């Protein structure tokens, strides 16, 4: 079994590919996995550190306007296509999988034209331009959210699989998680984070909640991001709150035990990246989503609105985010037990905890003709 996986630029495109690679290795003894990315994307660091081979090609995203950059990008993409053809010819994969980002464009296209089985995975509700273009050529399109189906021109190719999540998120013991995080199992837990680097607007709004939470029966686990931790710590002191000894407000720059945090959270406040939402819904957690306003094609707002429309989340746009507004929504959700339970159920119904099994089933369907 030889599998070529291409995707990159952001972790949201890379980690699903790694999940697929790991699952294939577990099911096919002696499977060979090769990743194709660029030298400048995050994949150049993450993939080798994960123990996989990475080949790089020259390619860049297409600007939306006619310019010298557009000409340069087209030329680079042409070179990338030639390089991709050579890699495919040399590696001879049974299947080529694209997980998003412009790097997978020439790779998946080259494979399709060589009649190699192809599959693309779209993590977001609003697909990236690369995947929308590739959908015309590939054999299967795997979706994390069924709302994305309307954006593809070949609906007969589309399958809802979900977005792969870390296995420990499903297997982590809840009682053990409370102990790991030094949290009280008899108090509701609010988990707030803005991504690996944090989010200044989210941090500032959460500070408004600190005095309210300190004097309540709630617990807050606030992940600030490494860049925002010192500022939050100093501003909390101005409010008379020492986060190092405030029992029901726990503030960390980064959390390695995120699986434990998701296991005990009664409400999540976060951005709306596809991976985060896949994990939140797999755990059945209601959420307040603040989409990252500069995400490509505003895909985070599309992700967030999809959950809000179904009743699993409330959305606050970053430009509208205030401490008062956030506090009001937190109270509205947590003080209404019936609403909290309904949001939890809806979130759980939207979750796809077996996404990786669904994806591997698609892979096996396509390669059965080849093996």
The tens digit of pLDDT for each residue in 154-182 reads 889 999 999 999 888 889 999 999 999 99
Q: Do domains 2-165+353-367 and 168-350 have the same CATH topology?
A: yes
More reliable by pLDDT, 316 or 78: 316
CATH node for 2-165+353-367 = 3.40.50.2000
State the pLDDT at residue 74.
67
3-state secondary structure of 143: strand
Please tell me the distance from the alpha carbon of residue 188 to that of residue 191, in angstroms, as a whole number.
10
Provide the percentage of residues in the chain whose pLDDT is more than 90: 82
Task: Give domain 168-350's CATH superfamily.
Answer: Glycogen Phosphorylase B; (3.40.50.2000)
CA distances from 48 to 34, 52, 230 (A): 11, 5, 32
Q: What is the pLDDT averaged over residues 133-153?
A: 95
Can you give the residue ranges of every domain in the chain? 2-165+353-367, 168-350
Provide the percentage of residues in the chain whose pLDDT is more than 70: 95
3-state secondary structure of 147: helix
State the pLDDT at residue 64.
56
Average of per-residue pLDDT values in the chain: 92
In this prediction, residue 68 has a pLDDT band, given cuts at 50, 70 and 90, of: low
Q: Is the pLDDT of residue 327 over 90?
A: yes
Q: Is the pLDDT of residue 63 over 80?
A: no
State the pLDDT at residue 296.
84
The tens digit of pLDDT for each residue in 254-296 reads 998 999 999 999 999 999 999 999 999 999 999 999 999 998 8
The tens digit of pLDDT for each residue in 297-318 reads 899 999 999 999 999 999 999 9
Q: What is the pLDDT averaged over residues 185-203?
A: 88
State the pLDDT at residue 285.
98
Q: Which of 365, 371, 370, 369 shows the shortest CA–CA distance to 157?
A: 365
- CA 161 to chain centroid: 14
More reliable by pLDDT, 63 or 78: 78
**Which one-letter DSSP state was computed for residue 256?**
S
- CA 66 to chain centroid: 31
Q: Is the pLDDT of residue 226 over 60?
A: yes
């Amino acid at each position: 079994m030889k599998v070529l996986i291409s995707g990159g630029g952001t972790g949201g495109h890379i980690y699903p590919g790694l999940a697929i690679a790991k699952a294939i290795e577990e099911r096919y003894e002696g499977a060979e996995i090769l990743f194709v990315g660029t030298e400048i994307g995050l994949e150049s660091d993450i993939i080798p550190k994960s123990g996989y081979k990475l080949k790089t090609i020259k390619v860049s995203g297409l600007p939306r306007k006619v310019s010298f950059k557009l000409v340069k990008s087209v030329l680079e993409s042409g070179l990338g296509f030639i390089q991709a053809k050579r890699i495919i010819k040399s590696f001879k994969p049974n299947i080529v999988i694209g997980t998003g980002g412009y790097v997978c464009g020439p790779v998946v296209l080259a494979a399709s034209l060589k009649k190699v089985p192809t599959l693309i995975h779209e993590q977001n509700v609003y697909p990236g331009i690369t995947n929308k273009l590739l959908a015309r050529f590939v054999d299967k399109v795997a979706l994390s959210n069924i709302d994305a189906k309307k954006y593809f021109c070949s609906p007969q190719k589309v399958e809802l699989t979900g977005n792969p999540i870390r296995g420990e998120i499903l297997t982590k013991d809840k009682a053990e998680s409370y102990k790991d995080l030094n949290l009280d199992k008899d108090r509701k837990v609010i988990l707030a984070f803005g991504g690996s680097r944090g989010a200044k607007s989210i941090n500032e709004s959460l500070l408004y909640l600190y005095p309210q939470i300190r004097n309540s029966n709630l617990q807050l686990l606030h992940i600030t991001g490494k860049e925002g931790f010192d500022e939050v710590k100093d501003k909390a002191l101005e409010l008379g709150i020492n986060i190092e000894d405030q029992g029901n407000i726990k503030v960390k720059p980064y959390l390695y035990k995120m699986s434990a945090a998701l296991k005990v959270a009664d409400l999540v406040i976060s951005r709306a990246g596809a991976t985060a939402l896949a994990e939140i819904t797999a755990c059945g957690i209601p959420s307040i989503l603040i989409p990252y306003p500069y995400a490509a094609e505003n895909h985070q707002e599309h992700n967030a609105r999809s959950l809000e429309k179904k009743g699993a989340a409330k959305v606050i746009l970053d430009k509208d985010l205030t401490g008062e507004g956030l506090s009001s929504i937190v109270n509205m959700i947590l003080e209404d037990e019936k609403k909290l339970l309904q949001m939890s159920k809806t979130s759980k119904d939207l979750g796809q905890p077996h996404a990786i099994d669904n994806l591997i089933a698609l892979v096996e369907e396509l390669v059965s003709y080849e093996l």
